[in-house]
Structure 1
Amino acid sequence: MSVYVYAITKADHPLDLEDVTGVGEEPAELHTVSNGGLRAVISESPEDLSVARRDLEAHHEVQEQLWADGAILPLSFGFVAPDEDTVRALLEERAEAFSQRLDELTGCAEFNIKGVHDEDTLLRAVLADSERARELNESIREGGGSYEDRLALGELVAGEVQTRQSALAEEVLTALRPFALAEKVSPPSQQYFVSVSFLVEDERSEEFTRAGGELAARLGEGVELRLRGPLPPYSFV
């Protein structure tokens, strides 16, 4: 019987799971598999497992409930093992590494920061600061300008946008790094100019949150910083 694995904990974790259920339309009972000083929280794997809101929420609710009472190694959604013996073997094989990582994550939480730059505000700033961009833009707006002018304007604006967003991303990282133990930075995307997870000690959580709020206010018009946390350390397992 295949089993769904939610997280790995040490044997002394309280494992309070009374108020949560596992994945699946009719979730099986949550229980544990033990080996030495480690335990894995599992349930019978449902046949109808899907990347749907119901199952994603159940997965994270189990992990957050566990994390509230002690350090865990949260597994990614959809981790299914062939059977309980396979899970026991994994706990034995990786016992030292799992135990060490649990020690390192004890008393820590993850915070996610995502930065969004309003496109219109950004474009206005580029035009305000670049005489060449203004000249090209005016020419094109008045019905003139060649294909080469349009291409040049597009390249100029794209370069300026990338430069400004890279500088903003570095400002965010530089401001918040002093409050964190570690970071995981994702590549910038069309939606976010910065997307980063920080590992923060519990005793510095308020300080980190306050610094994030002050930074968001300082970055000014058109820039939004979205902060989520504290969360289980999903990015640092």
Structure 2
Amino acid sequence: MTEVISYAYAVARDAGGSLTEALAGLPGVADAPVHLVRAGERGDVVVAVSPVPEEDFHEAALRANLEDLEWLESVARAHHRVIEALASRTTVLPLRLATVYLDDERVRRMLEARQEAFAGRLAELAAHTEWGVKIYVEAPAPTDRPAPPPADADAGLSPGRAYLSHRKAQRHAREDAYRDAEEVARRVEAAARGHAVDRVQHRVQQGELARGPGENVVNDAYLVPLGQAERFRADVSRAAEGLSGVRVEVTGPWAPYSFATPPETEPVPGAAP
């Protein structure tokens, strides 16, 4: 028989007792059913958990699984699905991906120890959502192939000078695009300042994570009151107007992933924290 441990998704407030209904029939990681752990029978601060195979979250196995993009995407989708189901009913504090405990009793002990801190943070985040703002530079990539000369170019220009002229123009175009990106970043900050109450600067995305055209140069998250959300989105989206080679991407609303303060997980013997 496969040993199981408890996978924790998020801390949430369940004052009305509606979260069990929100999670009914919702598959979690490894398609396991999700349930709530409470600190006492009447506690309204809960943790959403589900059983997962210990063998998949053992330290060595988890290290290998995190290199498996298909496995990682499956876990991330299930993790996000549960959090979004909770966020549709209440304020949540999302936990890190692959947060595991030995069993539900260990989850309960953690919740009892930190219940007051969780309740305070949930109160602070109530009626707020997270919005992501990414800025991309879409300047032409360097190439050794000279561009076709313009119609009024000197017909006697040598191939060497044509090549140098092309590289110089290309370099200037990239420099202009990065200067414009700095201006867009200033505009975004100024626009966001009038609506958001907090900001987190994330590492820019590269490689597999950098989806879409261009180079990601800013990757920020903003905490925005519900009443300011549409004005925030509209004002920030206009930040790149009039500047070519720069793109602003605004995503949301999300549960406040970047603004929750997750507890340290209790190490599972031989498993990832």
Alignment of 1:166-181 (within 5 A): 166-181=182-197
Aligned to 1:211, which of 232, 235, 242?
235
Partner of 1:228: helix, strand, or coil? strand
- Residues 162/119 of structure 1: CA separation in 2 closer, same or farther (3 Å cut): closer
Match of 1:52 in 2: 72
Aligned to 2:116, which of 88, 96, 99?
96
TM (normalized to structure 1)? 0.78
Please say if residues 166 and 193 of structure 1, whose CA atoms lie closer than 8 Å, have aligned partners that are also in contact. Answer: no
Please say if residues 135 and 181 of structure 2, whose CA atoms lie closer than 8 Å, have aligned partners that are also in contact. Answer: no
Please say if residues 114 and 227 of structure 1, whose CA atoms lie closer than 8 Å, have aligned partners that are also in contact. Answer: yes
Larger mean Cα displacement after TM superposition, 58-67 or 41-50: 41-50
2:28 corresponds to which letter in structure 1?
Answer: G
Please say if residues 33 and 87 of structure 1, whose CA atoms lie closer than 8 Å, have aligned partners that are also in contact. Answer: yes
The CA distance in 2 between the partners of 1:4 and 1:177, in whole Å, is 37
Please say if residues 5 and 103 of structure 2, whose CA atoms lie closer than 8 Å, have aligned partners that are also in contact. Answer: yes
Alignment of 1:51-200 (within 5 A): 51-120=71-140, 141-142=161-162, 163-188=179-204, 191-200=215-224
Aligned to 2:13, which of 10, 13, 16?
10
Partner of 1:165: helix, strand, or coil? helix
The CA distance in 1 between the partners of 2:104 and 2:134, in whole Å, is 38
Whether 1:21 aligns to 2:27 is yes
| TM-fit CA distance, 1:144 | 7.3
Over the matched positions of the two proteins, sequence identity in percent amounts to: 30
Whether 1:42 aligns to 2:45 is no
Aligned to 1:222, which of 235, 245, 269?
245
User: What CA deviation, in whole Å up to 9, does each residue of 1:194-231 have, x standing for no partner?
Assistant: 11100011111111122123324x25322211111001
2:198 corresponds to which letter in structure 1?
Answer: A
The CA distance in 2 between the partners of 1:140 and 1:82, in whole Å, is 68
- Residues 18/99 of structure 1: CA separation in 2 closer, same or farther (3 Å cut): same
Partner of 2:130: helix, strand, or coil? strand
Uncovered stretches (5+) of structure 2, i.e. residues with no partner: 58-64, 66-70, 143-157, 207-214, 261-273
Partner of 1:52: helix, strand, or coil? helix
Partner of 1:45: helix, strand, or coil? strand
Q: Which runs of 4+ in 1 moved over 6 A?
A: 153-161
The CA distance in 1 between the partners of 2:235 and 2:141, in whole Å, is 24
User: What CA deviation, in whole Å up to 9, does each residue of 1:83-140 have, x standing for no partner?
Assistant: 1121111111111211110001111100001111112299xxxxxxxxxxxxxxx997
| TM-fit CA distance, 1:162 | 5.5
- Residues 169/144 of structure 1: CA separation in 2 closer, same or farther (3 Å cut): closer
TM (normalized to structure 2)? 0.68
- Residues 213/157 of structure 1: CA separation in 2 closer, same or farther (3 Å cut): closer
Q: How many residues align?
A: 214
2:51 corresponds to which letter in structure 1?
Answer: E
Please say if residues 20 and 58 of structure 1, whose CA atoms lie closer than 8 Å, have aligned partners that are also in contact. Answer: no
The CA distance in 2 between the partners of 1:159 and 1:221, in whole Å, is 12
Match of 2:270 in 1: none
Uncovered stretches (5+) of structure 1, i.e. residues with no partner: 123-137
| TM-fit CA distance, 1:22 | 0.3
Please say if residues 14 and 90 of structure 2, whose CA atoms lie closer than 8 Å, have aligned partners that are also in contact. Answer: no
- Residues 90/205 of structure 1: CA separation in 2 closer, same or farther (3 Å cut): same
